[in-house]
Amino acid sequence: MNGDGYADLVVGTGGEDVGADTNVGTVVVLWGSARGLSGGTTISDPDPSGHDLFGKSLAVGDFTGDGRADLAVGSTGSAVWIYKGGFTKSSGTASKFKLSTDLEPGTSRGARTLTSGDFNADGYSDLLITGFYNPNSYSAADGSLVYLGSATGMAYQDILAEGDTVATGDLNADGYDDVIVSWAWGGSQGDAGGSIVTYLGGDVGVRTDTEQIIDQDTPGVPGADESSDYFGNAISIGNIDGDGHDDAAVSSYYESIGDATLAGSVTVFRGNLRGLATDGVKVFHQGTTGVPGTNEDNDHFGSAVRLSDLNADGHADLSVGADGENSGDGTIWSLRGSSSGVTTKGAVSFGASAAGISTTGYPYVGNVMAD
């Protein structure tokens, strides 16, 4: 965030009380250094009386194209605040602007998620905002709003399918970031088992004419589309096999496997020219050969997923959280990426105790991941 060569961590605390104002929320940048995270700076809320849960959603990207990291912050309000790059440890950033949207404000409204990507490959980061879109009395709907970045601000482009979860990456290897949104909880498609929708990027931004819908009834996709699987609960995009196409990991964290209810699973798709290939799809869970553990009731394997190259070998590795493992202690698995895709060879797992986290109460390790 401050251009010193060390990655920083931006943290939102939506329920933070500020003075007499309850649940107004706050955002803090924890600064990276050669010794890890050290010290932090609070990012001031420009309109504390106008919303609550400031910091409930966050995204970082270069929305203004000046080579510096900007910060987008959501709340229960309809606006998203963009803090322009040039952060310092002493004062955060002095420059910001308000992105007004047609999101409906309210306790469970506002910007539910924020995700950045460069959908038109112009060098400016773009922003995807999910929430309840309410521009007038006859077209209100849950949706994912696309705003394109530029030197002069953010311009609205289009609305996509609603997204319980959103991820971006270059699935078809054409230089434009693509989008996956999920209907994990049923959504507009009315699919109780959940589904995902892909859109390709292009010169105009996100291309709605490339919509591809996939669920567990799609030919080639293993499993059965059963009620409350929540297919698409978590999504991550990364290049696993090194072929230039980003791939996708999609969780069904309430999937029942054999006699184990809500054990959870993760489905891995290869990227292709269309978006996602529906052949060669692989599914992983605790009953998969080489994956440590055993499928049990309420494990929730796939409560979070992340594709990231952890060992710098050019292949994205798959990290999986199961926040219900061991009665809510939670566990994380690491499965290596390779030229043939995700492999279970050398797979490892660790729980709360191994990470030095107290198991008092319900820590739910693996509930959320970021990279």
pLDDT, tens digit, 9 for 90 and up, residues 145-160 = 999 999 999 999 999 8
Average pLDDT over residues 308-312: 96
Which residues, 6 or more positions from 218, have their beta carbon under 8 angstroms from its beta carbon? 278
For residue 262, pLDDT beyond 50? yes
Which of 29-43, 77-91, 224-238, 336-350 comes out lowest in average pLDDT?
224-238
Q: What confidence score (pLDDT) does residue 165 get?
A: 87
Distance CA 73, CA 81 (A): 5
So what's the pLDDT on residue 164? 75
Q: Report the mean per-residue pLDDT for the chain.
A: 92
| pLDDT recorded at residue 193 | 77
Q: What is the mean pLDDT of residues 75-103?
A: 92
> Which of 120, 135, 112, 125 is CA-nearest to residue 53?
112
pLDDT at 186 over 70: no
Average pLDDT estimate for 282-307: 97
Q: Provide the pLDDT confidence category of residue 302 given band limits of 50, 70 and 90.
A: very high
pLDDT over 80 at 139, yes or no = no
- 53-67: average pLDDT: 96
Q: Which of 302, 363, 294 is nearest to 332 (CA)?
A: 302
Local confidence band at 94 (pLDDT 50, 70, 90 cut-offs): confident
Average pLDDT over residues 295-322: 97
Q: Residue 150: how many CA atoms within 13 Å on its side-chain side?
A: 10
CA angle 196, 278, 227 (to 5 degrees): 45
Report the distance separating Cα 21 and Cα 52, nearest Å.
9
> pLDDT digit string (tens) for 65-85?
999 999 999 999 999 999 999
Looking at the chain, the whole-number percentage of residues with pLDDT higher than 70 is 96
**What is the mean predicted confidence (pLDDT) over 155-182?**
92
For 346, other C-beta atoms within 10 Å of its C-beta total: 9
Confidence band for 192, pLDDT divided at 50, 70 and 90? low
- Confidence check: pLDDT of 187 > 60: no
Could you report the per-residue pLDDT of 202-259, keeping only the tens digit for each?
999 999 999 999 988 899 998 776 777 889 999 999 999 999 999 999 999 999 999 9
Give the pLDDT band of residue 328 (cuts 50, 70, 90).
very high
Following DSSP, what letter does each residue of 167-222 receive, concatenated? EEE-SSSSSS-EEEEE-TT-GGGT-TT--EEEEEEETTEEEEEEEEEE-TTSTT--
Which pLDDT score is estimated for 134? 82
